[in-house]
Amino acid sequence: MQSDIFVFSNGRLQRKDNTLYILAEDGRKRPVPIEQIENVHLFGQIDLNSSLLNFVGQKEVILHFYNYYGFYTGSFYPREQKVSGIVTVKQSEHYLIKEKRLYLAQNFVKSAAFHMIRTCRKRKNIDSESVKEIMKLDKEIDKTKNVQQTMGIEGMIRQHYYKALNEMIPQEFIFEERSKRPPRDPFNALISFGNTMMYTAVLSEIYKTHLNPTISYLHEPSQKRFSLCLDLAEIFKPMLVDPLLLTLVNTKKIQLKHFDDHEGMIHLNEEGRKIFITAFDERLQSTIRHRKLNRNVSYRYLIRLECYKLIKHVIGDTKYIPLKAWW
């Protein structure tokens, strides 16, 4: 079974024979057979060369890079192996035709709202006034006439959702508003880091399909990002990331000592990042019984199944119905 590798130390990444070696600055040498790797997340200052990139590219391993503060900076995305001209054409068609794009955008938001309400219900916060507002807005999604209106509803839903989150976290983590660039408080830093890890997980799964990650429907396509990852992440952030954040702060596995303040920019320190990543990776590898496939599938594989559903929709095979967790 392939897994993700997370490198926090400074050093060098190099190839020797058919093995990837992580050489730390202190002289430690860690061999990792390439067949066991799916993604490599580089948080430390790592040296590598074109030979290494050619090697991981041939093995279809994605390298994700993060800066000193743990913020995502980019990925080495190997040459696509699963290329389909018809899927790209059909993806583009569903972006260009207003009604087709709107249908997908609305469904991404409906799934996100469903999982936000689900998270609050599981945390016994379903009677919150904020959750009631989310339920009201959820009924308005299908009434939107364009993607801009849909995004407007999504923004209002998320504002109420953040208020609901505040009702479920310890006093020391309460935040006034969502701040991203940069995060201004510990819980905002935690949300941002969790969303980053979700984004890279979605990107890794899209890579294994025929989808083009730059053609999106809810978020506007951009030259500087894989915007389809943002679309699909809307479904999974409230289902996977947010419950994990609540658990980590309420069980005190993550505390204020796990954050650093750099001139007003709050970020998880290395110890905090390790705690979150360990928990997040375990969650992605855990399984549930899929009621249609009638077998156990991992949470990570659920992301890929969502990609497959999107492909079937754009080529006219099966209408897209977004994931709504039934367990």
- Quickly list H helices, the chain: 50-58, 85-96, 98-122, 129-138, 147-166, 186-207, 227-236, 242-250, 270-285, 299-314
Cβ–Cβ contacts within 10 Å for residue 74, how many?
A: 12
- State residue 1's pLDDT score: 64
Known binding-site positions for Mn(2+): 154, 219, 234
For 35, counting Cβ atoms within 10 Å of its Cβ (0-12 exposed, 13-18 middle, 19+ buried), the class is exposed
Strands 62-66 and 46-47: unpaired
- State residue 223's pLDDT score: 67
pTM value is 0.90
- State residue 9's pLDDT score: 87
- State residue 81's pLDDT score: 67
Known binding-site positions: 154, 219, 234
Contact 40, 75 (CB under 8 A): no
Residue 96 structure tokens: 């260009």
**What residue ranges of the chain have pLDDT lower than 70?**
1, 81, 223
Bridge partners of 64, per DSSP, are: 41, 75
Cβ–Cβ contacts within 10 Å for residue 87, how many?
A: 19
Contact 192, 183 (CB under 8 A): yes
Contact 252, 179 (CB under 8 A): no
Residue 150 structure tokens: 């849909």
- State residue 71's pLDDT score: 87
- Provide the 8-state DSSP code for 4: E
Bridge partners of 13, per DSSP, are: 22
Residue 274 structure tokens: 């390790």
Bridge partners of 314, per DSSP, are: none
- State residue 154's pLDDT score: 97
Cβ–Cβ contacts within 10 Å for residue 16, how many?
A: 10
- Can the peptide bond before residue 182 be classed as cis, meaning omega within 30 degrees of 0? yes
Q: Which residue has the tokens 């060098």?
A: 12
Cβ–Cβ contacts within 10 Å for residue 281, how many?
A: 17
- Provide the 8-state DSSP code for 174: -
**Domains annotated on the chain, with CATH:** 3-76 (3.100.10.20), 85-314 (1.20.120.920)
